Amino acid sequence: MTINIIPAIDIIDGKCVRLSQGDYAQKKVYNESPLDVARAFEDCGCTRLHLVDLDGARSHHIVNYRVLEAIAGHTGLTVDFGGGLKSDEDLRIAFESGAAMVTGGSIAVSQPETFKGWLEKYGGERIILGADSRNGYVATQGWLNDSDKSVVPFIEHYHQLGVTRVISTDIACDGMLQGPSVDLYKRILEAVPQIHLIASGGVGNMSHVEALGEAGVPEVIVGKAIYENHITLNDLLSFNKQR
């Protein structure tokens, strides 16, 4: 199987947490040290990390860049970073702190010209489009608000402008461990077959990962399933050895 697992670390107050369906009231702290968690993922053969600044998503500017700096400086993981990136200064801080890629979601809806400027300056390999959706429509501001933009045309539009990578989360599935939105990802890949699609949300076990791989999804972000031991570090190690 060619699909790659990207473990996720979500940060609130400098700690590793998970939310359910993007609800800040449903926060669970899993570890006080995100760096220790990142090192454990690297020891399992993971090469990528999805790091989300949930404080930043709520504050509309980068907050937990020191966590990014520590992970990028003390592991060999390729980190994509998101959460609250709204300005050129936010991007500068993220890249200077060690992010290999950044994800912009809300900004692509609310300030499309700014997002297009980032694409032109940094290129599609470093700027990932965050296309998180609820009931087929793009959600913004840390999933607190719904837009009127249908997710598949939204991705198509930005692909035409130079986006090559997209992270797509079905919010209804996120943190529920009941399975990812395979049908949504099939629709995206059918509409934009050239896009590098990174699935996110709903993965509860390795069979869910396999189903995404069979659907042609090249990468999947996994968070809660790991923290709740539905997918163990040994599972990650075995999976990465077989790739």
Q: What is the C-alpha to C-alpha distance for residues 177 and 173, in angstroms, rounded to an integer?
A: 7
Contact 215, 11 (CB under 8 A): no
How far lies 53's CA from each of 120, 128, 129, 175, 193, in Å?
24, 15, 16, 17, 30
3 state DSSP class of 123: coil
3 state DSSP class of 1: coil
Contact 18, 224 (CB under 8 A): yes
Beta strands in 117-226 (DSSP E): 127-130, 133-134, 137-140, 145-150, 165-169, 196-200, 219-222
90: annotated active-site residue: no
Which is catalytic among the residues 53, 55, 132, 174?
Answer: 132
Which is catalytic among the residues 10, 53, 55, 80?
Answer: 10
10: annotated active-site residue: yes
- Supply the residues annotated as catalytic: 10, 132
